[in-house]
Amino acid sequence: MSYFRENIESAKGYEPGFQPPAPAASLLRSKTAGGAEVVKLNTNENPWPPSPAVLKAIAEIKAEQLRRYPDPMGNAFREAAAKINGVEPEWIMCCNGGDDLLRMAFIAFCDKRRPVAYPVPTYSLYPVLANIQNCKAIEVAFDKEFNLPARLARVRAALTIVCNPNAPSGTFIEVEELASLAAEIKGVLLIDEAYVDFAEQNCTELVKQFGNVIILRSLSKGYSLAGLRFGYAIARPETIKGLLKVKDSYNVDAIAIAAATAAIKDREYFKETIEKVKAERKRLTEQLRGLGFTLPESSSNFVFAEHKTCKAKEIYDKLVQRNIYVRYWNNVGIDNKLRITVGTRQQDDTLLAALKEIVAG
């Protein structure tokens, strides 16, 4: 007999991408226990370090800030994020990573009679959270070009999630299309913009136009802070108020608030880093196409590639033998594709050289 609820007992749980042990000294390259170089392009981390202002903010943390509980609302961050997004601070809620907001949304909007819906393939955490919450997950398939499926508006979900840019495809759905979806559905539309910093547009305006829209942002990707765990929601104040009822009392810690605030305020460093990733994404895309891969245009910091002749799983295994990690899922519809994070030029050159050998047989 198990102590767990049935759906927890039978669940597989979320499977994070492999994290090789990394020495703290290097953010760009790490070594395995045996000392070999590892090229880690499997979890969409930004290959560039966070802004120096972040490390300065952390160094300036006072013992008193650790002795006391943090500001439960993270108001310093809210104010900075509000300015950047052209809203009032009441429209912002700090989260312990974007995943924290997703968990809150499932608790707040879904139960046995209130299903969630999302287009697939997408972020593999959504079905895991649906299972924990014991709500039905209505998965509506994207077409081959990853266009927004029209059926999504008709399934009557309490919570509809659209990941934009989508993971793992990297593709972008136009803001106008999401506006139509928000207007059509009766429930909440959560737009997961974890990767939007690498895109040309975002959906902030939709929060102002529609009362049922919530936007998720993450500092893990665009701000190189995956290790910090910080994200935020943008939504109407009345929606934020409702979400606060299911928030952990102190969901973001004092160090994280200070570091995230410093990061989001350093606009120049942020823009520079984003431009570097975008330029490298363009080069990586072209080089992969040159090696016989097909991949949709990416608006994110990763690409989703399929080779014309070589099987993705074989390529993946051969890359692992060379200590190069990309992401592979043995799931229907995506089992012949590899999701590759855009790295530094040096990391990507190591990957490309290995791929050249592998696809040549």
Query: Which string of x and - marks every residue 55-84 that binds ligand PLP (by CB under 6 A)?
Result: ------------------------------
The smaller minimum CB distance to ligand PLP, of residues 103 and 307, is found at: 103
In order of 169, 307, 337, the CA distances from 316 in angstroms are: 17, 12, 10
CB of 173 to ligand PLP, least distance (A): 13
Q: Which residues make Cβ contacts (< 8 Å) with residue 154, sequence separation at least 6?
A: none
In order of 124, 131, 157, 246, 306, the CA distances from 241 in angstroms are: 28, 25, 22, 10, 44
Verify binding: residue 165, ligand PLP, rule CB under 6 A: no
Q: Cα angle vertex 14, ends 33, 350, to 5°?
A: 40
Tell me which amino acid residue 257 is: I
| DSSP line for 309-353 | SS-HHHHHHHHHHTTEE-EE---TTTTT-EEEE---HHHHHHHHH
DSSP single-letter state for residue 35: S
CB of 291 to ligand PLP, least distance (A): 26
Query: Which string of x and - marks every residue 24-53 that binds ligand PLP (by CB under 6 A)?
Result: --------------------x---------
Piece of the chain touching ligand PLP by CB under 6 A; list 32-40, 94-102, 170-178, 333-341:
94-102
CB of 96 to ligand PLP, least distance (A): 8
Q: Which positions from 295 through 354 interact with ligand PLP, judged by CB under 6 A?
A: none
Instruction: Choose which of 148, 158, 167, 178 interacts with ligand PLP (CB under 6 A).
Output: 167
Instruction: Choose which of 74, 78, 89, 192 interacts with ligand PLP (CB under 6 A).
Output: 192
With b for 16 or more beta-carbon neighbours within 10 A and e for fewer, the 288-312 pattern comes to beebebebbebbbbbbbbbbeebeb
Verify binding: residue 163, ligand PLP, rule CB under 6 A: yes
Piece of the chain touching ligand PLP by CB under 6 A; list 150-158, 171-179, 218-226, 302-310:
218-226
Piece of the chain touching ligand PLP by CB under 6 A; list 80-88, 95-103, 140-148, 287-295:
95-103
Verify binding: residue 123, ligand PLP, rule CB under 6 A: yes
The C-alpha atoms of residue 96 and residue 251 are separated, in whole angstroms, by 6
* H or E segment to which residue 229 belongs: none
Closest residue to ligand PLP in the complex (CB)? 97
Verify binding: residue 137, ligand PLP, rule CB under 6 A: no
The smaller minimum CB distance to ligand PLP, of residues 44 and 350, is found at: 44
The smaller minimum CB distance to ligand PLP, of residues 44 and 261, is found at: 44
CB of 190 to ligand PLP, least distance (A): 10
The smaller minimum CB distance to ligand PLP, of residues 187 and 222, is found at: 222
User: For residues 337 and 142, is the Cβ–Cβ distance under 8 A?
Assistant: no
* Three-state DSSP state, 270: helix
Verify binding: residue 169, ligand PLP, rule CB under 6 A: no
Instruction: Choose which of 74, 119, 231, 343 interacts with ligand PLP (CB under 6 A).
Output: 231
With b for 16 or more beta-carbon neighbours within 10 A and e for fewer, the 212-243 pattern comes to bbbbbbbbbbbbbbbebbbbbbbbbeebbeeb
The C-alpha atoms of residue 276 and residue 88 are separated, in whole angstroms, by 31
Piece of the chain touching ligand PLP by CB under 6 A; list 75-83, 91-99, 182-190, 349-357:
91-99
Q: Which two tokens stand for residue 335?
A: 């089992």
The C-alpha atoms of residue 259 and residue 224 are separated, in whole angstroms, by 11
DSSP single-letter state for residue 161: E
The smaller minimum CB distance to ligand PLP, of residues 263 and 355, is found at: 263
The C-alpha atoms of residue 60 and residue 234 are separated, in whole angstroms, by 28
Judged by the rule CB under 6 A, the positions of this chain that interact with ligand PLP are 44, 97-99, 123, 163, 167, 192, 194, 218, 220, 226, 231
